[in-house]
Amino acid sequence: MQASFIGFDPGAPGGDRTVVKIGPHTLYCADAYWIRDSLGRFDAEFMDPPYRFDNSGGGAFRKARGASDQIVTEELDQGFEMSIINPLLAGSIVVFCHNDQLPELLGYLNPRYKRFCLLGWIKKNPSPMRNKHYLADVEPFVHAWNPGFHPVGEHHDMHRWVSSGTMPAKVFGHPTVKPLDVMDKIMRNLAGRTLIDPFMGTGSTGVAAIRQGKIFTGIEKNPRHFATAVERITSAWEQWQA
């Protein structure tokens, strides 16, 4: 199964977009803030949006590894507009975030979803950049849901903190790629079959969704990362069909 390029749609409602179909899965190279609402309702939303944090410092470590500078170049340290989270468009949501974003994020989610749980995954090799803070060896994420979309799966699996090595930026050319075992674990606990990721990056959410039998829709505005996501999700779909 090859990816099917649907085309470039200039002036489309919600903004310009490139659309690629991979089996039942749909990928958009577009600005999520422009097109997310137009894509309608999904069972679940899963996002790893730009964090807002102090990305200065690092000394020799920063010189040896380029991910920190790439984060700045791609403005992945400037945060995101939480208004993109709309409970009318998703029964549940998973949001990765930086520790400093938690007060605002939890305050935003609490009145919009019936319940939420603050979770996290433990990094075996966290970046040593501390900036007068604790070492970021635990990265938080929030799972929030409304009635009918509560977490599913085995009890011990739902409540286990995930420990994994981080995936180096050089593998897919993206500075914040999440390890697939982390994504797989979270995906097992999401109710429903349809899933959207408005900040798709290089497609880790899509790969994990396909491996769990879900139908995936992804949005990514960076053409280089979008091309990587198309390649990865095509491969995941071919493996799922085999």
Among 8-12, 15-19, 141-145, name the most confident range. Answer: 141-145
Stated pTM of the model: 0.84
Alpha carbon distances (Å) from 80 to 33, 49, 66, 101, 161: 10, 6, 23, 10, 26
Residue 72's pLDDT band, with cuts at 50, 70 and 90, is: very low
Which residue segment(s) compose the domain that 120 sits in? 4-241
Q: What is the mean pLDDT of residues 23-33?
A: 95
Q: Is the pLDDT of residue 67 over 60?
A: no
Element housing 18 (H / E) = strand 17-22
Is residue 64 predicted with pLDDT exceeding 60?
no
Q: Residue 84 pLDDT > 60, yes or no?
A: yes
Q: Percent of the chain beyond pLDDT 70?
A: 70
pLDDT of residue 144: 98
Per-residue buried b or exposed e for 81-109, using 16+ beta carbons within 10 Å of the residue's own CB:
eeebbebebbbbbbbbbbeebeeebbebb
How many separate domains does the chain show? 1
How far apart are alpha carbons 220 and 231 in whole angstroms?
14
Res 59: pLDDT = 57
CATH number at residue 191: 3.40.50.150
What is the distance between the alpha carbons of residues 127 and 49, in angstroms, rounded to a whole number? 19
